[in-house]
Amino acid sequence: MNSPDDAKKTAIEMTRKELEQFPAPVLERYDAALEKLSGRLAEDTCSLWAIEGLEIARKTVRSWEAAVEFFDASVPVQRQLPSGQFLKWAKTGSLLCEDSPSLAVAYFKSSPKAMLRLRPRYIDDWANVCRSLYRGTWKSSALACRLFEATPDLLETLSFEEFCHFGEFLEILSRRSYDQAGDSLGAGIELFPKISGDVDRFINLAQIVAEKSWRETTVLFDAATASLIELGTPYRAPLISLARRLVITGVIDAAGVLRDAANTVNKVPADTRDRLLEMTDGIAAVSAPAAPEFLKIVPEILERVTFEQMGQWQAEGVRSARESDEVAVSYFKLESPASQEMLDSLSSSIELSRVREVIQMYCLALTGHIIDVQAAQALADKNIGWFQGELPTTEGTTIYMPSVINRYTSKDENFGFFKVISTHQIGHIEFGSFAFDFDIPSTMFEDLRPRLPGATELKAAKAAEEEARKQSSKLPEVVIFGHEAPAQLEPTPTTTETEVEKPEFLTDMSRFFDLFGERRLALDIFTIIESSRIDGYVAELYPGVMTVYNMVRDAALESRPDVTDLPAREALVEFMIRVSLGQIDEMIVPADHKEAAKKLRRLVRQITNSEATVEDATEATIRAYSILIDVINEELDDDDFEQLEPEEEEDDFDSEDDEDVVDPEEVIQQFMGMAGPDGDGEVDPDQDGTQEQDLEGEEILEEDYSSPQEVDYRGEFKPELSQLLSQMQMMEGGDMSETGEMEPITQEQLEEMMKNAPEMEMEQTQGEEGGDEQVSEMIENLMKELQKRDPENQQFQPGPSQHVDEDGGPLTAIEPDTYTYPEWDFRANEYKPDWCMVHEKIMADGEPHFFRETLADNAGLVAQIKRQFELVIPEMYRKQKRLEDGEEHDLDAVLEALIDLSVGVSPDEKLFWRRNKNERSVAVAFLLDLSASTAEAIDEAKKPSDDWGAPDDPVEYMVWLRSRRSEGLRRTYKRIVDVEKEGITLLVNSLETLGDMYGIYGFSGYGRENVEFYTIKDLDENFSEIVPRRIDRIAPLHATRMGPAIRHTVQKLSEAEARSRFLFLISDGRPQDRGYSREGVEKEYAVHDTRQSLIEARQLGITPFCLTVDKAGHDYMKTMMEDFSYEVLPDVSLLPKRLPQLYRNLTT
Amino acid sequence: MARVLMATEQKYIERDIEEYYVADEPFYVPTSDEIEIFESAYRQRVPILLKGPTGTGKTRFVEHMAWRLSEGLVPRNPGEEALNGNGEKLPLITVACHEDLTASDLVGRYLLDADGTRWIDGPLTRAVKSGGICYLDEIVEARKDTTVIIHPLTDHRRSLTIDKLGSTIDAADGFLLVVSYNPGYQNALKDLKHSTRQRFVALEFDFPDEEREAAIIAHESGCDNDTAERLARLGVKIRNLREHGLEEGASTRMLIYAGRLIKEGVSQRRACQVSVTWGITDDPQIQRSIDEVVTSIFA
């Protein structure tokens, strides 16, 4: 008995001894473990254990660390394992240590916890799963270690089988990237507990993804974390299976599928979710790549049609999907016409984007101005004073409308609604709401405007008075300071106040509203009256829309709030709205104010006709205001209301027509009274209330006045802002010389206006805190908007003069590829010799794909242009008559000759005709404007809001522009220059079939000594793959100095050998550049120089043609292109289509 | 029997062009002082160029003036008295120019017949000989060689050279050349040469204002005033689209046709559609927009 015991003891002792050669911790842990284990383990097991430990320590240089962990882990592990398994566990660790001690360390470390969840028989498998990740590298060992460490956590939710799958997945992925495998491991730990039950399914999906496109795994986990978790359990499994099926059939973006699907499933009602997934399955069965597109588009579809209708749309899609995947994808992307038509036929809603052009043209026809049509949200996003994103409105040049109308059950009615709101909105433009002129007399009323005191004036006068009082009281103190003192003491406010006494208003509208103490009430009244006036015009001039108009109006009337719920003054305002909406019977008004109501009704009716002017509306506003301001806004009971009898006979009304509803003198007195002691509180309605009370001298509970709810089809009406904005636009209209240069509007002026404008008040009172910030931000935006509209500012503003002075002398071209040209001074009527320097450069190479993609995207158009151009060729083969020699006799000519002979006149010898004599000999140079303004987006609606961040400083602007350009790939909207590029691409492609000699050049520049001239394709250069690359690089640069660029092109053209030569100028606006003017103001200078250069071209036998996309192009184009041919495109996007057409017309 | 009778009965009037003069007053509403200018120019025998878009009344104006002069409502020569209906009739010879119109189409040509050759005067020659107004409509359409022919007729020489005959004809006293053209602003190659255009007094024609146009429509079509006003308004609105998709605005003539159809009982919207919307453009988008304008104006 002794010997084996001894042997064991010796084994343990020996081990001890052996262990001494290792670092101290080894022995320490050995002893600690041994102490606990010896009691629990059979001795031979214990010695085996000890030997195993020693072996581990001995394995490699670093394996003593593993031994430490081994000893540490042994105690807790032993508690959970029978001794046989325990030794097996040790053995496994030992084997691991052979591969890598750090693996063993991780194994031992996580063992105690892992054993809680792991069946002993799986220990080997577990080690193997983790070990399989190890491939001898540091990274692989780190990954394997992490899996060991993560095992306890993972096993909390995963079965061992699932764990093995996960391991497999990691193994597959780790073959590609350890980092990604590591990330997935981390993500898995987070994710799995939250989707328990679907883990295996998900791992399976991940595995497939890892095999097919391993890079997607990270996003897959991200997407799963983001989407699957919030998705209800019942939908997870089908979704994952769906994604799996899709991935198997070739869809790469599994993450996207999950995300979109989860997003969509969450959006649809719970009872339709199963059906939705079924639909997706149905699509996937026919065309896998289409299914994700379907999931993506469902929310958009459901905005337009019901779920049932979507089912029909989907079914149709599945039918067409059988053709090919491409068809299916474009169908479910809602890109194919068939798909759109199908959806269209199912839905009764109308989207603005689909009818935008029609409405735009409708507005153009009605008003004679180019009216832009935009989604209302676009204006709200600009943050320049309009807040509602869904109400129709206008700011004088653009009308804003809801992006989709789904009010009625039929398409016609929904379109009718669009028509009603656009007719009403442009009514404001057509019938002059914004053309209000304070000084134009009213046609219907006695003019009170000039006789009323302005509130600002009154306030200022009062302030000045008070100041004077203070001054006089301060006088004694002044004496101490002697003579200088008064000047010092005079507080600056006084001076400003006195200046304010004759206030300057930005707009006549502001001046008008300044008459009122309670501006918001005045605005509300004016809104009602003016809108009513517009309705009157529409009814008279456009009876055709009245059917729908009345329907909309009746609906608006029905949705009005109950008058009896409102306090007295508001009730009367509401009453006015109802009158203006055409209500006749059952009009309820506060019983005490029946007379006032009658007067108000008369006012509204008087103004509702097609004779009334906006000035009449303002006069009516003054009268209505004078009535309403006397009505205390008190809360009323239901029985305080009575029904107002309908208006008396029509003729009775007419006879009264001349009579004013109010006594003008009284009104004036009333307005003067506003200047009373509390007069300065007008802006604040609360204070106003107290003022009222004071005047009445009664204690009545007065409610704050709040504005009525907008009438939906009339939308938001902002006369002051609109007038300001449209004024700026008007200046562009060309009467610049008449009105003289308008003073630039300063920020201060704007602030002043915003402070006073009733339109702004609502927002200010709504959001007290941060209100100032909001306002200043708005002012900033407004300033930018104004600058954009101000034609002056559309010029490229040059930075500080780092260049040759404009007054300098002639330039000399020294460097190679520079050329000097004269410039025409139209005042002096002479050339400035060698005034401009043209630097000719070859456009850098870009990528060829733009060219290819453009051709591919416009395949239809390309074919059409080709066809057109091919027609040109037979034209060249036309029979040519009257030749001296040819294929055959020309019968007409022969007859004539015979006649001539018999009469005795010498006959014409040209008796033949022949085909194909007229060889086409055309040389054409396209000159593209690459000025910075071509960076403008063509469709404002798609313009990202960060566009507002464009700095004003030109240097910064260029930097900003470049950075913008570099992010070109992310840009989703089109710029003018992109359209130019497209046009050129399509043309070049077709020109090749025609065989004409052509060159493409771009120009820009900055100052007269820096006219940049880029060659994209020279006239004598053959088309090669480099040309598309250069086209790709066409981008907006600096300013527009057209003259020298034209002269240079003409120079090139004049050297070309061709019978007809053309110069085709494509620009986006008037020529402008630093110093391209006289004394910096005369813009005609640039226009005249350009014109002169065109005349030079013609003298050399070159036909110039100018195509511009400048909407405001007509005024200067007429001067610039007189006698020349030109065309102004109303819409930039027409350019690619129009360019080849024009080219063909011009050259044949 | 009846048929034969029908065939023998002459149902048309055929006369030589020299004998054609405007007998009944053509309705014309002046927009400015064009009548006075024309009269003065005629007395001084200064050739006249009428510019303006299609359907603005250029041809009608010439007819009207020919009638006034024919009726002797105004003196034909400086210092004369008006004859008030007793004067010699003034022929009006109108030639619509087209792209194949050559000089000999205007001047005349020899024809071959059984006996040999026979010279036939062209319309211009006949006008020169008979002393009437020769109106070359859309002159830019004609071939370039025609414009050279008319040069000697438009200056102090007032003569027509006929190469083939080797003769020159001095124009009869009453002769005056009137040409018209439509300055389509984007027509690069069809433009009147300066050497030609500077030989004329130019009168610009544009659409009459809304009120006048309404009166014209009412008179010409016989429709009621309200309809005429609406048609005139439609015209104004559609002309706003000029250069924004439409190459030409709606002509007064077009609106008159719509008025006539309406008078015949065709519904207003339909009449506008067939005589205006569909006539003016083939672009479905623009048609739709115009349709919307029509349905706004007409109930």
Give the type of residue at A350. Answer: I
A929-958 burial code (b ≥16 CB/10 A, e <16): bbbbbbbbbbbbbebeeeebeeeeebeebb
Q: What is the structure's pLDDT at B65?
A: 93
What is the DSSP secondary structure assignment for residue A159, as one 8-state letter?
-
Is residue A633's pLDDT more than 90? no
Is residue A485's pLDDT more than 60? no
Alpha helices in A995-1041 (DSSP H): 1026-1032
Q: Find the range with the poorest average confidence among A518-527, A586-595, A794-803, A936-945.
A: A794-803
List chain B residues with CB under 8 Å of A368: 240
Residue of A nearest to B194 (CA): A1123
List chain A residues with CB under 8 Å of B294: 544
Give A376 or B171, the one with higher predicted confidence: B171
B46-57 burial code (b ≥16 CB/10 A, e <16): bbbbbbbbbbbb
3-state secondary structure of A737: helix
Cβ–Cβ contact B245 with A under 8 A:
yes
- Work out the average pLDDT over A688-713: 61
The backbone torsions φ and ψ at residue A236, rounded to the nearest 5 degrees and listed phi first, read -65, -50
Q: What is the pLDDT of residues A136-180, one digit of tens each?
A: 888 888 888 888 888 888 888 888 888 888 888 888 888 888 888
Closest CA to A551 of A408, A363, A349: A408
Q: Which of A364, A903, A1126 sits opposite B244 (nearest CB)?
A: A364
Query: How confident is chain B (299 residues) per 10-residue block, as mean pLDDT?
Result: 53 81 87 92 92 86 91 83 76 87 86 81 92 89 82 90 87 91 59 82 90 92 92 91 77 92 92 91 83 89
Strand residue runs (E) in A493-585: none
Q: Rank A725-739, A829-843, A963-977 by mean pLDDT and report only the highest.
A: A829-843
Cβ–Cβ contact B150 with A under 8 A:
no
Q: Rank A73-82, A196-205, A522-531, A930-939 by mean pLDDT and report only the highest.
A: A522-531
- Name A251's Cβ contacts closer than 8 Å, sequence gap at least 6: A257, A288, A289, A291, A292
Q: What is the structure's pLDDT at A970?
A: 43
Q: What is the structure's pLDDT at A926?
A: 84
Within 13 Å, how many C-alpha atoms sit on residue A877's CB side? 5
Q: What is the structure's pLDDT at A809?
A: 65
Q: Rank A634-638, A770-774, A784-788, A992-996 by mean pLDDT and report only the highest.
A: A634-638
Cβ–Cβ contact A419 with B under 8 A:
yes
- Name B187's Cβ contacts closer than 8 Å, sequence gap at least 6: A1125, B140
Say how far apart CA B241 and CA B292 lie, in whole Å: 13
Q: What is the structure's pLDDT at A589?
A: 83
Closest CA to A207 of A239, A160, A232, A175: A175
Q: What is the pLDDT of residues A108-144, one digit of tens each?
A: 888 888 888 888 888 888 888 888 888 888 888 888 8
Chain A residues 349-378 within an 8 A CB cutoff of chain B:
357-359, 361-362, 364-368, 370
Q: Which of B286, B296, B299 sits opposite A361 (nearest CB)?
A: B286
Chain A residues 896-915 within an 8 A CB cutoff of chain B:
896, 898-900, 902-903, 905
> Are the beta carbons of A899 and B117 separated by less than 8 Å?
yes
- Region of residue A829 (left: phi > 0; alpha: psi -120 to 50; beta: else): left
Say how far apart CA B147 and CA B168 lie, in whole Å: 17
Cβ–Cβ contact B2 with A under 8 A:
no
User: Do residues A710 and A716 make contact, with C-beta atoms less than 8 angstroms apart?
Assistant: yes
Is residue A922's pLDDT more than 60? yes
Give the type of residue at A744. Answer: P
> Are the beta carbons of B187 and A1130 separated by less than 8 Å?
no
> Are the beta carbons of B110 and A900 separated by less than 8 Å?
yes
Q: Find the range with the poorest average confidence among A608-622, A715-729, B260-274.
A: A715-729
Closest CA to A1147 of A1016, A1067, A1058, A1056: A1058
**Tokens describing residue A847:** 């990528």
List chain B residues with CB under 8 Å of A543: 297-299
Say how far apart CA A1129 and CA A1135 lie, in whole Å: 7
Say how far apart CA A472 and CA A489 lie, in whole Å: 12
Give A774 or A270, the one with higher predicted confidence: A270
Q: What is the pLDDT of residues A636-680, one digit of tens each?
A: 777 778 887 776 544 444 444 556 667 777 777 777 665 444 434
State how far residue A983 is from chain B, nearest Cα, in angstroms: 18
Residues in chain B, overall count: 299
Q: What is the mean pLDDT of chain A?
A: 74
Q: What percent of chain A has pLDDT over 70?
A: 75
Provide the β-strand partners of residue A105: none
> Are the beta carbons of A544 and B269 separated by less than 8 Å?
yes
**Tokens describing residue A729:** 């636009």
Strand A888-889 versus strand A912-914 pairing type: antiparallel
Q: What is the structure's pLDDT at B175?
A: 92
Q: What is the pLDDT of residues A69-104, one digit of tens each?
A: 888 888 888 888 887 888 888 888 888 888 888 888
Say how far apart CA A628 and CA A596 lie, in whole Å: 8
Is residue A1075's pLDDT more than 70? no
Give A7 or A628, the one with higher predicted confidence: A628
> Are the beta carbons of B299 and A544 separated by less than 8 Å?
yes
Say how far apart CA A1019 and CA A1029 lie, in whole Å: 17
Say how far apart CA A341 and CA B244 lie, in whole Å: 28
Q: What is the structure's pLDDT at A1?
A: 45
Q: Find the range with the poorest average confidence among A91-100, A1060-1069, A1113-1122, B196-205.
A: A1113-1122
Q: Which of B112, B164, B189 sits opposite A905 (nearest CB)?
A: B164
Q: What is the pLDDT of residues A853-882, one digit of tens each?
A: 777 777 667 777 777 666 666 555 567 777
Give A988 or A601, the one with higher predicted confidence: A601
Q: What is the structure's pLDDT at A500?
A: 41
Strand B167-170 versus strand A1060-1067 pairing type: unpaired
Q: What is the dihedral of CA A255, A260, A263, A267, to 10 degrees?
A: -160
Output the DSSP codes for A1063-1124: EEEEESS--B-TT-SBTTTBTHHHHHHHHHHHHHHHHTTEEEEEEE--GGGHHHHHHHTTTS
Say how far apart CA A158 and CA A1026 lie, in whole Å: 59
List chain A residues with CB under 8 Å of B245: 361, 1130
Cβ–Cβ contact B117 with A under 8 A:
yes
Q: Count CB neighbours of A473 within 10 A.
A: 9
This prediction's pTM:
0.60
Give the type of residue at A233. Answer: T
**Tokens describing residue A929:** 């404007």
List chain A residues with CB under 8 Å of B296: 362, 366, 419, 423, 542, 544-545
Closest CA to A604 of A707, A657, A660, A530: A530
Output the DSSP codes for B94-151: EEE--TT--HHHHHEEEEEETTEEEEEE-HHHHHHHHT-EEEEETGGGS-HHHHHHHG
What is the DSSP secondary structure assignment for residue A975, as one 8-state letter?
B
**Tokens describing residue A1087:** 């226009």
Give B194 or A750, the one with higher predicted confidence: B194
